[in-house]
């Protein structure tokens, strides 16, 4: 049985999600909801705890995962900074990595293609050291998703080193750091088309350890990642499920604008990490 702790969950948007999860996993998942509003569901739908403030919602939801009583933390309708601040409170001892990062499983049905995208939501402009930690985080995510030796592409505008292009320099330095790694292929700089399209790689006669078959895309900045994420979901009809990693439990940060399907994909992705 997987227990999901929800801060700000007694809202219509979250209720739709819980109904869908209960339909798909009727015996395997239960929800513990913390909110300041009235309970809008029955006891069979979730366990409800009334709170007096957003801070109390965050505290109780995080305490539940810190104690081991819940295995996934889900942000409902509550400010992101409120839940993250409580998550990082040292008394909970939940942070396991130096850097927290966001990883999203992107599925593009039209192309019969899926990959993990990181980091489009947490780290603004990673340094080399931060990017190394992001790669370490996503490597573990990929393995838990079922990819034994993930091919991790470090994106840039081109596939050759350019000292005037920060993303190229960053990718080169990170690739050098991981050159002796045996449990993953980590390579860059490489452009998006060469990382994801075998046809493009063949057309350009590109030779390298990643030839259109990347399992993971690592973006150089949050602007790049955020734009790519939204372009794929809005214009590419991709589905995306995202989580925060680097803590003892997966953390799902939903947005009010996310569809129920997107929230559901995020929870499924989180459950794969357990």
pLDDT reported for residue 151: 98
Question: Quick check: 213 pLDDT over 80?
Answer: yes
Which of 149, 110, 129, 56 minimizes the C-alpha distance to 238?
A: 110
Q: What is the mean pLDDT of residues 146-161?
A: 95
Do 135 and 225 reside in the same domain of the chain? Answer: yes
The predicted structure's pLDDT at residue 51: 97
Residue with token string 């080399």:
128
Q: pLDDT band for 173, please (50, 70, 90 cuts).
A: very high
The number of domains in the chain is 2
| Domain identity same for 82 and 115 | no
Single pTM value for the model: 0.92
Q: 57 and 162 in one domain?
A: no
pLDDT in tens, 223-248: 999 999 999 999 998 989 899 999 99
Half-sphere exposure of 229 (CA within 13 A, CB side): 23
pLDDT at 46: 95
Which residues does residue 31 pair with via DSSP β-bridges, in sequence order? Answer: 4
Neighbour tally for 231: CB within 10 Å = 11
Contact 57, 78 (CB under 8 A): yes
Q: Does 134 lie in the same domain as 30? A: no
Instruction: For residues 53 and 114, state if they share a domain.
Output: no
Do 116 and 201 reside in the same domain of the chain? yes
> Cα–Cα distance between 143 and 141 in angstroms, integer?
5
Together in a domain, 158 and 209? yes
Identify the CATH number of the domain in which residue 115 sits: 3.40.718.10
pLDDT over threshold 90, residue 257: no
Residues 110-127, mean pLDDT to the nearest whole number: 94
Same domain, 201 and 254: no
Per-residue pLDDT at 203 exceeds 90: yes
Evaluate if residue 43 carries a pLDDT over 90: no
Q: Residue 148: which residues within 8 A CB-CB, separation 6 or more?
A: 183
Comparing 48 with 239, the larger pLDDT belongs to: 48
Does 88 share its domain with 112? no
- Mean pLDDT to the nearest integer, 47-58: 96
Estimate the crossing angle of helix 166-177 against helix 128-145, to 10 degrees. 60
Same domain, 219 and 176: yes
> Is 32 part of any domain?
yes
**240: in domain:** no
| 27, pLDDT greater than 90 | no
Could you tell me if 153 and 223 lie in one domain? yes
- Any domain includes 75: yes
* For range 175-202, the mean pLDDT: 95
In a domain, 239, yes or no: no
Does 161 map to a domain?
A: yes
Nearest partner of 225 among 161, 149, 140, 138, judged by Cα: 138
> Does residue 138 register a pLDDT over 90?
yes
Residues 6 or more apart whose Cβ sits within 8 Å of residue 234 = none
Amino acid 256: pLDDT: 74
User: Could you give the percent of the chain with pLDDT greater than 70?
Assistant: 100
pLDDT band at residue 262 using 50, 70 and 90 as cut-offs: confident
Could you tell me if 66 and 188 lie in one domain? no
pLDDT at 253: 86
Identify the band that residue 158 occupies on the pLDDT scale cut at 50, 70 and 90.
confident
Whether 70 maps to a domain, the answer reads yes
Q: How far apart are CA 179 and CA 186, in angstroms?
A: 8
Query: What pLDDT is recorded for position 168?
Result: 97
pLDDT band per the 50, 70, 90 thresholds, residue 17:
very high
Q: Please give the residue range of the domain that contains residue 60.
A: 2-96+247-272
Name 215's Cβ contacts closer than 8 Å, sequence gap at least 6.
115, 116, 142, 147, 150, 151, 152
């Amino acid at each position: 049985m997987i227990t999901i702790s929800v801060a700000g969950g007694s809202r219509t948007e979250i209720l739709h999600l819980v109904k869908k999860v209960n339909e798909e996993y009727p015996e395997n998942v239960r929800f513990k909801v913390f909110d300041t509003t009235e309970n809008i569901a029955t006891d069979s739908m979730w366990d409800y705890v009334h709170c007096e403030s957003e801070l109390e919602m965050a505290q109780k939801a995080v305490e539940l995962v810190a104690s081991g009583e819940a295995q996934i933390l889900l942000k409902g309708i509550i400010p992101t900074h409120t839940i993250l601040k409580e998550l990082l409170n040292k008394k909970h001892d939940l942070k396991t990595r130096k850097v927290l990062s966001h990883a999203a499983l992107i599925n593009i049905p039209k192309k019969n293609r899926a990959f993990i995208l990181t980091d489009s939501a947490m780290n603004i402009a990673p340094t080399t050291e931060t990017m190394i930690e992001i790669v370490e985080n996503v490597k573990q995510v990929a393995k838990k998703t079922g990819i034994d030796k993930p091919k991790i592409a470090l994106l840039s505008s081109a596939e050759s080193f350019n000292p005037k292009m920060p993303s190229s320099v960053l990718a080169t330095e990170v690739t050098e750091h991981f050159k002796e790694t045996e449990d993953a292929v980590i390579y860059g700089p490489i452009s998006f088309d060469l990382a994801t399209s075998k046809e493009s790689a063949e057309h350009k006669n590109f030779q390298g350890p990643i030839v259109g078959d990347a399992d993971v895309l690592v973006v150089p900045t949050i602007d790049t990642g955020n734009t790519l994420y939204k372009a794929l979901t809005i214009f590419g009809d991709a589905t995306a499920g995202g989580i925060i990693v680097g803590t003892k439990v997966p953390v799902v940060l939903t947005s009010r604008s996310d569809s129920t399907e997107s929230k559901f994909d995020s929870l499924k992705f989180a459950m794969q990490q357990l």
